[in-house]
Amino acid sequence: MAQTCIIVTGGAGFIGANFVQQWISTEPAAVINLDKLTYAGNPASLRAVEANPNYAFTHADIGDFAAVSRLLAQRKPVAVVNFAAESHVDRSIHGPGEFVQTNLVGTFQLLEAVRGYWSALPADVGRRFRFLHVSTDEVYGSLQPGDAPFTEQTPYAPNSPYSASKAGSDHLVRAYHHTYGLPTITTNCSNNYGPYQFPEKLIPLIILNALAGKPLPIYGDGLNVRDWLYVGDHCTAVRLALSKGRPGETYNIGGNNERANIDVVRTICRILDELRPADSRKPYESLITFVADRPGHDRRYAIDATKSSDELGWKPAETFESGIRKTVRWYLDNSDWVQGVVSGEYRKWMAKNYDTREAT
C-alpha cells in the first residue's frame, strides 16, 4: 500500500519551507513538495529535510494541469496544501501579469486537477480529503486606526494587484466547495516573519541592509501598521486547520502583534546594536531613510483570530519580542543561506525597486 502523504505547493518558499520542516518533525505522513522554483523558491531552505524518506520534491507549475494530475494519481495524497503564489506587493505593482497567472489562473488549474482526482476517490476517502488554501489578510483591504480587526465576515476589498489576485483565488476555492462539494479550507493570515524569508520583505531587508551599512528604507511616514505573526505559529495553525477545520470554512490567523513599521525597524536596530554592534559604533537607527511611499499603500491590517482559537484550539506561542529576537539571531547565524540568496536576481530587484525611490 502507498504511504500516506500530503502534497504541499510552494514548499521551497518562505512559509512553505518552514511548514515542510515542521510537518516532517511532527507528523507521521510523508510530504511531497511541488514547486516551480521561481526567484522565491530556494532548495537551500530545505537542506535539513532533503534526505528524509518522508520528503520528496517535484519541479512543476501549479498551473500545469497535466503535471499536477499525474502527481495526484501517482501519490494519492490525503490533502493538498496550496502555498504557491507570487507573494510580494511591490513586485505586483511593477508587473501584475505574473500574479494573475499564478495566483488566479494557476490556482484554477490546480483546483481542476484536484477536483478530477478527488471526484474519483471512494466516498469515505473523499470525505476525509482536504484542499487547504493559504491566503492573506490583505484581501480584506485597509483599516484605519481604531477600526475593529478583520473577522471572517469582513467583506473583501483588495487594493493591490497582489491582493486582488489572492482574493480571486479565494473566491474560486469557495466556489469549488459550494458547487462541487470539494472539502476546502481557506486560511487568511497576517504578515509572517522568521527564518528563510526572502530579503525583499521588510524584516529580512532591514536586517541585511543594516549589517551591510546600507540605508534602511521606510515607505511614507512609517506609520503603516501590520500584525506580525511568527512563521512557526502560522505553520502550527495550518496543521490544526487541516486536522480540525470544517470543510467550506475560512479561518483568520494573526499574531496579535500590531506594530507600526517604524517601530519594527527601530526594534531590529536595537537588537542588532546589542548582538552585532556596527564597526563605526553608530546605532543602526542612524541608517533609517524615509523614501517615497508604495502606491496604494494599505494603512493598517489587524486580525481577529477568535474563530481559530475557539474551533482549532490555536494560539500563537511567540510574542513579537521573542519572535523578532529569534529571527535576527537566525539571520546572524545563517550567513551561508543569506549569501546564496543575495545574488544576481536579488540585486536586479533592489535596483528596480529602490534606485528610483527618492529619499523624502
Kindly list the residues in this chain that would bind ligand NAD in the complex (CB under 6 A): 9-10, 12-16, 35-38, 40-41, 61-63, 83-85, 87, 102, 106, 134, 136, 166, 189, 191-192, 198
Q: Which of 35, 61, 90, 138 is catalytic?
A: 138
Alpha-carbon span 173 to 170, nearest angstrom: 5
Q: Which of ligand NAD, ligand DAU, none binds 224 (CB below 5-8 Å, type-dependent)?
A: ligand DAU
The residue (of 91 and 307) whose beta carbon lies closer to ligand DAU is 91
Residue nearest to ligand DAU (CB): 136
Among 211, 210, 191, which Cα is nearest to 201's? 191
Is 112 an active-site residue? no
Q: Which of 35, 86, 137, 258 is catalytic?
A: 137
Q: Which residues pair with 222 in a beta bridge?
A: none
Assess 89 for contact with ligand DAU (CB under 6 A). yes
Report in angstroms how near the CB of residue 290 gets to ligand DAU at its nearest: 9
At 1 the three-state DSSP class reads: coil
Among 212, 224, 228, which Cα is nearest to 327's? 228
Among 269, 306, 317, 319, which Cα is nearest to 289's? 269
The residue (of 77 and 287) whose beta carbon lies closer to ligand NAD is 77
The residue (of 29 and 262) whose beta carbon lies closer to ligand DAU is 262
Is 284 an active-site residue? no
Q: Which of 55, 117, 140, 162 is catalytic?
A: 162
- CB distance 163 to 138 below 8 Å: yes
Among 36, 75, 133, 226, binds ligand DAU (CB under 6 A): 226
What type of residue sits at position 233? D
The residue (of 5 and 107) whose beta carbon lies closer to ligand DAU is 107
177: its cell numbers: 466547495
Assess 19 for contact with ligand DAU (CB under 6 A). no
Decide the pairing of beta strands 258-260 and 225-227.
antiparallel
Alpha-carbon span 136 to 140, nearest angstrom: 8
Report in angstroms how near the CB of residue 21 gets to ligand NAD at its nearest: 13
Is 27 an active-site residue? no
Among 40, 37, 9, 6, which Cα is nearest to 23's? 6
The residue (of 82 and 209) whose beta carbon lies closer to ligand NAD is 82
For 302, half-sphere exposure in the C-beta direction (CA atoms, 13 angstrom radius) is 16
- CB distance 17 to 42 below 8 Å: yes
**So which residues are the catalytic ones?**
137-138, 162
- Under the rule (CB under 6 A), what is the footprint of ligand DAU? 87-89, 136-138, 190-191, 201-202, 205, 217-219, 224, 226, 261, 294, 301
